[in-house]
């Protein structure tokens, strides 16, 4: 279910993400060529307007002692029990951005907000620092991009995996592919798999 949600997000927003990243590359090229950054003309009215920001929240008015640290559970608990006025939960510089770290960190901060951590959290305030979207990071393969299809990459990956499995003493390998994915079925059959089920389940001949 979680991976399905991620796949839906990717399919919905991937074109927009790619377009924004391309805009970044174009903008960087212009800066490299000597163009200086400036404010957008369409925001002049906002910049020159008579507005002002809201008052600082009461919990953040006293920041004489403020600490920053990673978001693993033990560090969050230690920070909240340190006596500091403010703890900035750092999802960027102090955090290795692995999938587990990012997801667990979000959960830990949520638990701290709900006062559900296992130790007394004291009176420290939790703020957050998250990474800006500055690069294209890959963790989960959702769909093979069109430009990478039919180049034999999938077959090479499966073949290498089979070699590793055999080296570890594996006798069988079972793969699943949807009925409509004919290219994948052919690739598996070329590696020695055979059809053994109604849902296009393939079993490697021993």
Please identify, in words, the CATH class of the domain defined by 146-204. alpha beta
- Indicate whether this model's pTM tops 0.85: no
Residue 114 has pLDDT above 70, yes or no: yes
Report, as an integer, the average pLDDT of 186-193: 80
Per-residue pLDDT, 171: 72
Question: Is beta strand 174-176 parallel, antiparallel or unpaired with respect to 201-204?
Answer: antiparallel
The pLDDT assigned to 122 comes to 52
| Token reading at 132 | 């800006």
Q: Where in the chain is the domain with CATH 3.40.630.30?
A: 146-204
pLDDT digits 0-9 by tens, 49-104: 888 888 888 888 888 888 888 888 888 888 888 888 888 888 888 888 788 888 88
pLDDT surpasses 50 at 164: yes
Query: What does the angle CA 4 – CA 6 – CA 7 come to, to the nearest 5 degrees?
Result: 65
Per-residue pLDDT of 5-21, as tens digits, reads: 877 888 888 888 889 98
Distances (CA, A) of 24 to 20, 41, 98, 131, 133: 6, 19, 24, 16, 11
In this prediction, residues 167-188 reach a mean pLDDT of 74
Mean pLDDT, residues 175-194: 76
């Amino acid at each position: 279910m979680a991976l399905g949600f991620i796949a839906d997000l990717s399919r919905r927003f991937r074109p927009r993400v790619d377009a924004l990243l391309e805009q970044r590359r174009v903008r960087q090229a212009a800066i490299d060529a000597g163009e200086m950054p400036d404010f957008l003309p369409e925001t002049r009215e906002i910049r020159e307007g008579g507005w002002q920001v809201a008052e600082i929240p009461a919990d953040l008015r006293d920041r004489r002692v403020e600490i920053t640290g990673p978001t693993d559970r033990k560090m969050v608990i230690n920070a909240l029990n340190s006596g500091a006025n403010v703890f900035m939960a750092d999802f960027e510089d102090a955090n290795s951005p692995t999938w587990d770290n990012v997801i667990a960190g979000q959960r830990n901060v949520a638990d701290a907000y709900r006062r559900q951590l296992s130790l007394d959290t004291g009176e420290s305030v939790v703020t957050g620092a998250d990474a800006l979207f500055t690069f294209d990071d890959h963790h989960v393969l959702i769909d093979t991009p069109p430009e990478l299809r039919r180049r034999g990459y999938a077959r090479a990956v499966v073949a290498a995996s089979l070699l590793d499995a055999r080296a570890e003493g594996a006798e069988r390998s079972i793969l699943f592919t949807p009925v409509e994915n004919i290219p994948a079925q052919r690739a598996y059959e070329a590696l020695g798999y055979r059809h053994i089920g109604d849902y296009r389940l393939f079993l490697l001949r021993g």
